[in-house]
Structure 1
C-alpha cells in the first residue's frame, strides 16, 4: 500500500474516481442531445445570456486561431439577430467543441447547466468506482478531519458537484469533499494551476498535497509544482509512456492513511 503524510488530497475525476465511459457515453451525449432545448427554453435568462457571452468570446478567439483549433468554429450572428439564427450557430459550435473534447470554460460551464437538467430529472446518476466512497470516508473520518479532499477537473464546479452529489448507489458524497476546482485556476497540464491550488489550500508546502490523476501530462505538471503524485490505472484509461517514473495505483484501497 502507498502510505503518505500529506494533509490534502486532490482528485481528478475522469479515469480516476469515475470511468471515462461515463463521461464519453453518458454525459457528453446528453449535453449534445439537449443543448438546443436548453438554450431555447432559457435563452432570455441572465444565466444563459452570461453563458452565451462566454461562448461568443470563445468562438471569436477560435476564429482568430482557426488553423490551431480542433473543430471548425461557426461565426455567431450579432446579438440583435433572430434568436433562432443565434441558437443554430451556438448549437453548431457546441457540438463541434464536444466532438473535439475541448476543455474550454465556455463549453464546460454550459455542459454543467445542461447536465443539471438530467440530474434533477433522474435521467443521469453519478458514477464512481466502488473503492472511492470508502476511501473518501476514511480520509474524512479516520484521520479526525486532518486530511482534506478536493476535486480538480476540467468540468465545471457545478458539474463536479452534480456528479458527487447524486451517485448510485452511494448517494451524496459531497460531505467528504472540501472544495471543487475547475480550469478557472488554469489548465490541468499547466504547473501554474497546481501552484494556485497549493496557495488556496492553506498548507505550508506543495509536497503536503497528494494529487491523483490518470493523465501523464497532468501528473508531470503537478510534480513540477512540487505536489506528490500518484497515477490511476483504470480500465479504459489511456496507456502511459514507458518509464514514466510515477507510482501507480489501481484502487484507492492501496492508499493508507
Structure 2
C-alpha cells in the first residue's frame, strides 16, 4: 500500500477520475438538510401547481405503479386510479412520497418526481448546489492535465446535472465528462464498475474512484479500479481495519 505522502503519485498514471457526490464532492448535509427537506415541504404545493401538466401526470402514474408493487409492505399508501377525485389522488400521492422517503426508498418513481421538483427549485434559485472549496480547483487541474472526470452517484443523472449546473459558484458542468447513476448498476457491485470502465473506454487500472463508502471502494477494487476513501466532516468514521486497507484523503487538493 502506498504511504499517505505518496497520494499525489496515485493520480500520475490515472486517466479517469470517478467521483461520488455525497460526502465526496458535496457535504452529506446538503442532501440531508437541504434537498430532501425541500421535497417534504413542497411536494403538495408542487403537485397542486403542476397537476394538469403531462409530466406531472406521468410522475403520478409511476408513483401509482410503485404503490401497487409495494401493496404488501407495512405502511404503503395506495394511490386511487385516474377516475378518482383529484384531491384524493393528490393527497395519496403526497402520502406515498413521504412514506417512501421515511423508509429511505430509492425507487425510480420517487427519484423521477424528486428530480423534477429539484429542477424547478434550482431554476428559480430556491436551491443552489454545494461543493467543497477544493473541488473546483481540483477539477480544473485534472482537466488541464488531460484527465477525464465522471460522476457516479445513486442520485439520478438528472439530479446530478442539476446540482453541478446550479452551484453557489455557477455551473461547473463543463468540468465533467459524464455521469453515471444506478441504472448502470448498484454501487456496491463490482460489475457496475466493469460496466463503467467499458463505457468510458479506459482500462480499470487507469481509473481512480473517490468515495466515502468503503463497501463501494471494495466493489470498485474487485473490478480492478483504484480507489481512495474520502474523509470529510460528517462522513462515517473509518475503522482501524478500513484505514489499513484503503488509501484515504481529506481533500482533493492533495491529488495532483
Instruction: Give the stretch that moved more between structures: 212-221 or 123-132.
Output: 212-221
Report the CA distance shift for 1:198/1:60 in structure 2 as closer, same or farther (over 3 A): farther
- Distance in 2 of aligned mates of 1:79 and 1:210: 48
Matching of residue 90 in structure 1 with residue 93 in structure 2: yes
- Distance in 2 of aligned mates of 1:31 and 1:225: 36
- Distance in 2 of aligned mates of 1:85 and 1:241: 49
- Distance in 2 of aligned mates of 1:140 and 1:128: 17
* Alignment deviations for residues 116-159 of structure 1 (CA, whole Å, 9 cap, x no partner): 22111111111100000000011112x1xx31111111112121
5+ unaligned residues in a row in structure 2: which ranges? 1-6
5+ unaligned residues in a row in structure 1: which ranges? none
Give the 3-state SS of the residue equivalent to 2:240 in structure 1: coil
- Superposition map of 1:165-176 within 5 A: 165-168=165-168, 170-176=169-175
CA contact (8 A) 1:105 1:184 kept: no
TM-score (norm 2): 0.90
Q: 2:225 aligned to 210, 220, 227, which one?
A: 227
- RMSD of Structure 2 on Structure 1 (CA): 1.6
Shift of 1:99: 2.4
Q: Which residue of 1 aligns with 2:8?
A: 2
Shift of 1:39: 1.6
Q: Which residue of 2 aligns with 1:215?
A: 213
Q: How many residues align?
A: 246
Moved over 3 A (4+): none
- Distance in 2 of aligned mates of 1:43 and 1:226: 47
Q: Which residue of 1 aligns with 2:55?
A: 47
- Distance in 2 of aligned mates of 1:16 and 1:209: 16
Q: 2:111 aligned to 103, 108, 112, which one?
A: 108
Shift of 1:80: 2.3
- Superposition map of 1:1-257 within 5 A: 1-3=7-9, 4=11, 5-64=13-72, 66=73, 72-141=75-144, 143=145, 146-168=146-168, 170-203=169-202, 205-244=203-242, 245-256=245-256
Q: Which residue of 1 aligns with 2:4?
A: none
- Distance in 2 of aligned mates of 1:150 and 1:243: 29
TM-score (norm 1): 0.90
